[in-house]
Amino acid sequence: MSAIELESIDTILKSINSAIRGKKLYPAGHPAIAAPMTKSYQTLSELLRARNKIFIGMAKDVLVFEENPIMDGDKNLGEFIHRLKQKEIEGIIFEKGLLQKEFFSFIDILLIDDMLKGRELQQMLASKNILHISIKSLQTGRNILETYQDAVAAVRETMNQVRMGKVPKTWDMLTKVVSGMTELVLSDKNAMIGLTMIKNYDGYLFNHSVNVSILSIAIAQSMNHQKADLHTIGIAGLLHDVGKTGVTEDIIKKPGILSSSEWDTVKEHPVLGSKIIERMEGMTALISRLVYEHHMRYDRSGYPHTELPLHPLSMIITTADAYDALTTLRVYQKPYHPVEAIKIMNNLSGKHFEPNTLKSFVAMVGLYPIGTLIRLSTNEIGIVTKISPSGNLSPVVKVIVGADGKQADKSYEIDLSVGGKNAPTIAAPVDPLTKGLDIGKFFEEEAQAATL
């Protein structure tokens, strides 16, 4: 990062600070407020011309820009730091495309002396149409599992209303959970991807929908899609199989091969789903289109048949959908190990999957994806919990079974990318079923532990 960039950040922060101070002393519209507001917005927009995102955070009472501490020798940033602390904000992400009115309302929100903090504040941003600013809150760890469970409940409720013949009135519920999930994907992507290992055999459709939503948001984010797209794809992911409520349970749970008429019924679900969405309040034409297109496949060998170009976001849902389906136990299929699932999908690149989308997905989860159980060269067994930025063949692993084959007393994490002479390497993937391990449960407990 250049000295000029650091200087711009300094200008932005000082101007925000003056605006906040000004707002306490002068009436709205006073030049002591308007001038620094405009200046900080302009400087921010200039910086965002060369970058997709700007992250300003707090680390131990010191402001940071990306990873660089911003020294406040003259104590010029006191008001701003005070507001961040009071609102339990750990970081602010400004994105390319930021509008002046979004920035101005955001500063107003910082000044409101109400109880809204952390995660609720993030949800408020979405409801005020502030789509190019996100906040990372201190409460993240506490809420990750809760958010996942809220999402499952929102899908269940939507599908129940459909089953009762109603047009679901769940837009508020769905947008709220999608805002929460998007925030968590931005701030704690590894843990969120870990949670997609929760596969509920009985409530398959609900958990599958949430998993597809999380993975889709994460892929879209890694492909640098804007926040508005993340929101759209999050909702579409939650509802992509809502049309399956029209397919009877015995067909969905039928072991073995479906008859051709049964298969025809299943193939209706994207059309049915998009029709349900069209009637729901709050939904957009794009959400309905993504649901309609989710089984068409990149080479259009899927259903319903089309010759028209597919929306790029549909290709993301198709990728997320396949990965979650492959790694889940079904009546007709044992779950594939994540490593195998990635191989199968790579073989279908350019066929079922759009190559760049698939590439971004694999770069994100790694060749040993998060949630993979592996044996190390030390004979210990562990679960992949994070992807190392340095290489997707050397992830971070949490060791849970010692070299003696016994459950480790204390699990510990090792970063395989660190290397060194005696550093362990991955020997082979291990099937969790043979070890009696529930990987989803593991991530659930990890998320729970992070809240204590």
Stretch that binds Fe ion, among 3-11, 143-151, 235-243, 427-435 (CB under 5 A): 235-243
Q: Of 318, 78, 350, nearest to 219 (Cα)?
A: 318
Judged by CB under 5 A, the number of residues near Fe ion is 2
**CA end-to-end distance (rounded Å), the chain:** 37
CA atoms of 442 and 419, how far apart (whole Å) = 26
Give yes or no for residue 293 binding Fe ion (CB under 5 A). no
Nearer to Fe ion, 107 or 290 (CB): 290
Nearer to Fe ion, 241 or 380 (CB): 241
Restricting to residues 312-341, which ones interact with Fe ion according to CB under 5 A? 321
Chain-centroid distance of CA 76 in Å reads: 35
Q: Which long-range contacts (CB under 8 A, 24 or more apart) does 118-127 make?
A: 118/87, 118/88, 118/89, 119/143, 119/180, 119/183, 121/87, 121/88, 121/89, 122/179, 122/180, 122/183, 123/176, 123/179, 123/180, 125/179, 126/175, 126/179, 126/231, 127/175
CB of 53 to Fe ion, least distance (A): 30
CB of 19 to Fe ion, least distance (A): 47
User: Tokens 């590439």 label which residue?
Assistant: 359
CB of 317 to Fe ion, least distance (A): 8
Nearer to Fe ion, 102 or 241 (CB): 241
Contacts of 171 (CB under 8 A, 6+ apart): 280, 281, 282, 283
Nearer to Fe ion, 23 or 244 (CB): 244
CB of 205 to Fe ion, least distance (A): 8
CB of 339 to Fe ion, least distance (A): 21
Restricting to residues 49-78, which ones interact with Fe ion according to CB under 5 A? none
CB of 94 to Fe ion, least distance (A): 34
Binding-site string for Fe ion from residue 154 to residue 183, where x marks contact by CB under 5 A and - marks none:
------------------------------
- Phi-psi map region of 66: left, alpha, beta (phi>0 left; psi -120 to 50 alpha): left
Restricting to residues 240-259, which ones interact with Fe ion according to CB under 5 A? 241
Residues forming contacts to Fe ion in the complex (CB under 5 A) are 241, 321
